[in-house]
Amino acid sequence: MNALDYALSCPKAELHLHIEGSLEPELAFALARRNGIALPYASVEALRAAYNFADLQSFLDLYYACADVLRTEADFHDLMLAYLRRARADHIVHAEIFFDPQTHTARGIPFETVLRGLEAGAAAAKAEWGMSTRLILCFLRHLSEDACLACLNEAEPYLDRLHGFGLDSSERGNPPAKFARLFERCRATGLPVVAHAGEEGPPAYIHEALDILKVRRIDHGVRAVEDPALLARLAREGIALTVCPLSNLRLRVFDDMRQHSLPQLLAAGVKVTINSDDPAYFGGYLGDNIRAVQAAFDWDIATWQQIARHSIEASFATAEQKASWLDALTPPPTTEKRPSP
């Protein structure tokens, strides 16, 4: 088995996936039709042609516009199940899925409608093939801390159905420190917290996410390589990064995959994981990210095994789940014949 086949076929967890970012243009048009809404694009092709982003904000503008087609519980169910089917094809055994309730409640969609729809999709995947999922509520950092606290109040009756809190949306100008009170309240629920940091924002935002928000993982974190002391800290403290290589290319964090900071992060001993972020918008799902990284870096089986191990270890799955997936990570013995002496 070669390294790419191993990387594609081994059991793994996806830890950085925005469910709204898995909305494919075909499904967007189908939901628009079902809900009697007009999208500001004439066709699937015209919408796809708009996926040409200059930076994070230009992507977010389109991402929030397309989310408008999500109206009913059935819409959120269909979105979730479509993503989970793709995840299954990439041998993802466990997916931790971000959702942005404020994007929906601001349009008058009740929090419970969103949650029930996403849960129903996840329940169907669990019943059909045993898929394991967790839901992480993400706050929109371009909004005020008070608006995010109001969202947390709204989520409070459903805490036993959530598995963590995150922070996403426009990073520059919205540092983690802006959300100190919010995250203190999130941590008081006992659920784990994570945050996007060091995607477009500086390494200082990663320090803030660790020191002020006290996050368990950093989403992206690829700019950590600009700060050697931070890099050493991430390695020493075993903080996992949920890196999204195709997203970083599409949002122009790096110009070329060969310039990505992944090799430096790995060389520093950081717990790197690979994820798809917003696969419908960035050119592919987890398998596509793996192919793109392998084309750039030609890693060996041991490196891919380590990345899969990180994804499982850094997940919020149970100890029993982790043990069974880690057991299945060992690659089959190589069948290559040694040359005779």
Tell me the closest approach of the beta carbon of residue 15 to ligand ADE, in angstroms. Answer: 13
169 binds, among Zn ion, ligand ADE, none (CB under 5 to 8 A by kind): ligand ADE
Per DSSP, which regions of the chain are E strands? 12-18, 92-99, 132-140, 164-168, 194-197, 217-220, 240-243, 271-274
| 3-state SS assignment for residue 98 | strand
| Nearest-angstrom CA–CA distance, 41 and 245 | 28
279 binds, among ligand ADE, Zn ion, none (CB under 5 to 8 A by kind): none
| Nearest-angstrom CA–CA distance, 55 and 251 | 5
21 binds, among Zn ion, ligand ADE, none (CB under 5 to 8 A by kind): ligand ADE
Mask: binding to ligand ADE, 25-64, rule CB under 6 A, as x and -? -------------------------------x------x-
Q: What is the DSSP letter of 166?
A: E
Mask: binding to ligand ADE, 218-247, rule CB under 6 A, as x and -? -----------------------------x
Cβ(189)–Cβ(160) below 8 Å = no
Task: Count the site residues for ligand ADE by CB under 6 A.
Answer: 11
| 3-state SS assignment for residue 14 | strand
Report which residue's Cβ sits closest to ligand ADE: 168
The reply to whether 18 sits near ligand ADE by the rule CB under 6 A is yes
Instruction: Determine which one of 73, 199, 200, 208 is catalytic.
Output: 199
* Number of CB atoms found within 10 A of residue 313's CB: 16
Ramachandran class of 295: left when φ > 0, alpha when ψ lies in -120 to 50, beta otherwise = alpha
6 binds, among ligand ADE, Zn ion, none (CB under 5 to 8 A by kind): none
Q: Is 199 a catalytic residue?
A: yes
Closest CA to 84 of 136, 125, 118, 120: 125
The reply to whether 21 sits near ligand ADE by the rule CB under 6 A is yes
Cβ(28)–Cβ(71) below 8 Å = no
Cβ(156)–Cβ(180) below 8 Å = no
Query: Would you say 56 or 270 has its CB closer to ligand ADE?
Result: 56
Cβ(308)–Cβ(12) below 8 Å = yes
Q: Given candidates 14, 73, 90, 199, which one binds ligand ADE under the rule CB under 6 A? A: 199
Q: Given candidates 168, 223, 276, 304, which one binds ligand ADE under the rule CB under 6 A? A: 168
Helices 25-35, 73-89: crossing angle, 10 deg rounding? 160
Tell me the closest approach of the beta carbon of residue 21 to ligand ADE, in angstroms. Answer: 5
Tell me the closest approach of the beta carbon of residue 55 to ligand ADE, in angstroms. Answer: 11
The residues binding Zn ion (CB under 5 A) are 277
93 binds, among ligand ADE, Zn ion, none (CB under 5 to 8 A by kind): none
* Number of CB atoms found within 10 A of residue 46's CB: 12
| Nearest-angstrom CA–CA distance, 170 and 273 | 22
The reply to whether 103 sits near ligand ADE by the rule CB under 6 A is no
Q: Which residues bind ligand ADE (CB under 6 A)?
A: 18, 21, 56, 63, 168-169, 196, 199, 247, 277-278
Please give the positions annotated as active site. 199
